[in-house]
Amino acid sequence: MQYSDTPGIWTREQVEAWKPIVNAVHAKGGVFFCQIWHVGRVSNSGAFLTYTFLT
C-alpha cells in the first residue's frame, strides 16, 4: 500500500522512474540511497479514511 505523495521502490514502474534521478546524482559524484521513512499516524490504515488539506 502506498500513501499519496510518498515515494516508493517496490514496483517496476517506480524503480524505472527513479533511474534518471539516481543516474544524475551518480553523474555528479553523489551517493543515492533509500532511507526508511515512517509516515507517522497515517501509517495506521484505520486512523484516517479521507484526507483533507487546507491551503
Measured at the alpha carbon of residue 3, what is the angle toward residues 39 and 25, in degrees to the nearest 5? 80
The separation between the first and the last C-alpha atoms of the chain, rounded to the nearest angstrom, is 26
CA separation for the pair 19, 16 (Å, rounded): 5
Give this prediction's pTM. Answer: 0.60
Q: Could you give the C-alpha distances from 29 to 25, 26, 37, in angstroms and in order?
A: 7, 5, 24
pLDDT tens digits for 3-49? 667 788 888 999 999 999 999 999 999 999 888 877 676 666 665 55
Q: Tell me the pLDDT tens digit for each residue of 40-52.
A: 766 666 655 555 6
Cell numbers representing residue 50 in the block: 479521507
What percentage of the chain exceeds 90 in pLDDT?
A: 36
Q: What pLDDT score was predicted for residue 55?
A: 56
Q: Which three cell numbers stand for residue 35?
A: 532511507
